[in-house]
Amino acid sequence: MRIRLNQIIPCAGLLGVFFLASCSSGASSIKMKGSDTEVNLAVNLAENFTKVDPTFSIAISGGGSGLGITSLMNGQADIANSSRPLSDEEVKQFKDKDIEIKTVVFAEDATAFIVHKDLPLEEIDVETLGKILSGEIRDWESITGKAMPINIYGRQSSSGTHSFVKKKLKIEFSNTAKEMTGNAQIIEGVKADKTGVGYVGAGYVAHDPSASQNVKILRIAPKKGEVAISPMDQSAINAGTYFFQRPLYQFILAESWEKVRKFINYERSPAGRQQIEDHGYYILENQTNEI
Specify whether the backbone of 111 is left (phi greater than 0), alpha (psi in -120 to 50) or beta. beta
- In this structure, is the dihedral angle defined by the CA atoms of residues 196, 198, 202 and 208, taken in order, positive or negative? negative
pLDDT of 246 over the 60 cut: yes
pLDDT of 8 over the 70 cut: no
Write the single-letter amino acid at 264: I
pLDDT of 7 over the 50 cut: no
* Residue 26 near residue 57, CB atoms below 8 Å: no
* Residue 198 near residue 111, CB atoms below 8 Å: no
Distances (CA, A) of 179 to 63, 163, 186, 265, 274: 13, 13, 9, 36, 33
Write the single-letter amino acid at 218: L
Which residues are 17's β-sheet partners? Answer: 9, 61
* Residue 144 near residue 118, CB atoms below 8 Å: no
Q: What is the pLDDT of residue 140?
A: 98
User: Which pLDDT band, with edges at 50, 70 and 90, does 14 fall under?
Assistant: very low
* Residue 281 near residue 126, CB atoms below 8 Å: no
All structural domains of the chain, each given as residue ranges with its CATH number in brackets, are 30-108+245-279 (3.40.190.10), 110-239 (3.40.190.10)
3-state SS string for 14-52: CCCEEEEECCCCHHHEEEEEECHHHHHHHHHHHHHHHHH
Whole-number Å distance between alpha carbons of 29 and 60: 11
Q: Percentage of the chain surpassing pLDDT 90?
A: 64
What does the pLDDT average to over 283-290? 64
Whole-number Å distance between alpha carbons of 190 and 238: 29
pTM across the whole model:
0.74
User: 3-class DSSP state for residue 4?
Assistant: coil
Contact residues for 160 (Cβ-Cβ < 8 A; gap 6+): 34, 35, 37, 64, 65, 66, 82, 83, 84
Of 182, 177, 175, which Cα lies nearest the Cα of 161? Answer: 182
What does the pLDDT average to over 122-148? 97
Whole-number Å distance between alpha carbons of 11 and 34: 12
What does the pLDDT average to over 228-248? 92
DSSP character for 22? -
Whole-number Å distance between alpha carbons of 206 and 190: 16
Whole-number Å distance between alpha carbons of 154 and 185: 9
